[in-house]
Amino acid sequence: MNVLILFNKPFNVLSQFTDRSTEASGRETLSRYIQIPHVYAAGRLDRDSEGLLLLTDDGKLQARIANPKHKMAKTYWVQVEGAPQEEALQSLRRGVQLKDGLTQPAKVRLMEEPAGLWPRNPPIRVRKSVPDSWIEMTIREGKNRQIRRMTAAIGHPCLRLIRTQIGDWHLGDLKPGEFKQVTRL
């Protein structure tokens, strides 16, 4: 039976098991948290993003999750600078023009700060003169740093990004650095 792991990737951790870059000495990888052999990340989650990362030893499942042609929905909680108005949210819903093209429409809603959210280490920058807000966004493509670039394009830079769902798999109550093995659907 194939392995599928749901992992809450902490902030500042690479979505890989080794780091052979010139910066390697100070960068954490998945190997600090997961010691299950022959599993690999199905997709990526940037070092400065947090939340759900799926790992598997099943190459076909890995491709289905990671390859944008399959258009698997991914949901994020996004803390942004400022308070987006409806017009800005509609821009995200229509698709935003980025340097590498127009994004597909996103499913977007304003939300309250998530209850029980763990503190980030280090904390986000806080500016007393500028409020921040939370948005839930669901996208079906995976351009490089897409959510961050989309929110910046509407004038609300991303302060914190947490992926909460990939397809039918949810982060649930996993704390940063925790994982669980699940039965495949």
132 a catalytic residue: no
Amino acid at the residue 184: R
Q: What is the dihedral of CA 6, 117, 109, 64, to 10 degrees?
A: -10
Which residue is catalytic, options 19, 46, 57, 58? 46
DSSP track, 124-185: PP--TTS-EEEEEEEES---TTHHHHHHHHTT--EEEEEEEEETTEE-TTPPTT-EEE----
Active-site positions read 46
